[in-house]
């Protein structure tokens, strides 16, 4: 079985990745947009898929992708080098919480560790990708504030049940929620939330995305959102 995920304009090798490409990455990568961003930071890049999506939709942006896992870094480096965006993508093998950046970023995005102060996974690589202590969560946000440029944007995705926890930690850190996108697996089934933060305070925009209809078929809105990336026909129509 092939380990390559084929998109319209690039491919992603996943052999040996701590986590394979899922709907979270596809949805987040499809929503990310900043008209003025020249520099971007991908925190916890994994295979590099979200960086590749952002590079595709932002033709002049330069992206630093930081990842602590050695095997994931090797995959991201390979996937970047095989893409048409290789000259604008850079892999940093290091821990985001401890790394000193030499620049500010206009756009920061992450599919961050989901589980805070929970029982850790026995698989060390999965634990490092998906578990974060509450103290490190605070440090994570402080580090984002340190790295963001004036008028920069931050895109994060996490389980909807954790939304208020993230908001509570963001309070007092000079980043403001400007958009909330609730992602529903099916109607009335909220599974994820994308939160967009800015250094400038403004009214919060709210919207939602339903991925599948009640019958299991992809919704027109999901197909439209991801049409520039998916290489397969999701509608089932000729």
User: The dihedral of CA 114, 119, 121, 125: what is its sign?
Assistant: positive
- Is residue 233, in this structure, part of any structural domain at all? no
Count: domains in the chain? 1
Contact criterion met (CB below 8 Å) for 149 and 161: no
- Is residue 236, in this structure, part of any structural domain at all? no
- Is residue 209, in this structure, part of any structural domain at all? yes
Query: How many percent of the chain have pLDDT more than 70?
Result: 89
**Poorest-pLDDT segment among 27-31, 43-47, 129-133:** 129-133
CATH of the domain at 96: 3.40.50.150
> What is the extent of the structural domain holding 166?
4-226
- Is residue 232, in this structure, part of any structural domain at all? no
- Is residue 237, in this structure, part of any structural domain at all? no
For residue range 63-92, list pLDDT tens digits in order.
999 999 999 999 999 999 999 999 999 999
- Is residue 235, in this structure, part of any structural domain at all? no
pTM of the predicted protein model: 0.91
Residue 228's pLDDT band, with cuts at 50, 70 and 90, is very high
Strand duo 105-110 + 39-43: pairing: parallel
For residue range 136-195, list pLDDT tens digits in order.
788 899 999 999 999 999 999 999 988 888 888 887 788 999 999 999 999 999 999 999
- Is residue 31, in this structure, part of any structural domain at all? yes
State residue 166's pLDDT score: 85
State residue 138's pLDDT score: 85
- Is residue 50, in this structure, part of any structural domain at all? yes
């Amino acid at each position: 079985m092939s380990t390559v995920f084929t998109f319209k304009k690039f491919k992603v090798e996943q052999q040996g990745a701590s986590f394979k490409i899922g709907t979270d990455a596809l949805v987040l990568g499809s929503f990310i947009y900043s008209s003025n961003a020249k520099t971007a930071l991908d925190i916890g890049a994994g295979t590099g898929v979200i960086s590749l999506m952002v590079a595709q939709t932002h033709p002049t942006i330069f992206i630093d992708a930081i990842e602590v896992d050695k095997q994931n870094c090797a995959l991201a480096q390979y996937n970047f080098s095989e893409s048409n965006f290789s000259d604008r993508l850079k892999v940093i093998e290091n821990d985001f919480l401890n790394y000193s950046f030499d620049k500010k970023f206009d756009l920061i995005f992450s599919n961050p560790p989901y589980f805070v102060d929970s029982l850790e996974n026995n698989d060390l690589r999965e634990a490092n990708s998906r578990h974060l202590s509450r103290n490190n969560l605070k440090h994570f946000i402080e580090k984002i504030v340190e790295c963001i440029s004036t008028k920069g944007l931050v895109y994060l995705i996490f389980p909807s049940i954790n939304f208020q926890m993230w908001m509570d930690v963001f309070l007092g850190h000079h980043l403001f929620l400007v958009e909330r996108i609730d992602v529903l697996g099916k109607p009335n089934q909220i599974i994820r939330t994308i939160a967009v933060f800015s250094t400038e305070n403004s009214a919060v925009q709210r919207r939602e995305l339903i991925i599948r209809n009640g019958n299991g078929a992809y919704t027109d809105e999901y197909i439209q959102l991801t049409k520039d990336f998916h290489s397969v026909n999701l509608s089932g129509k000729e």
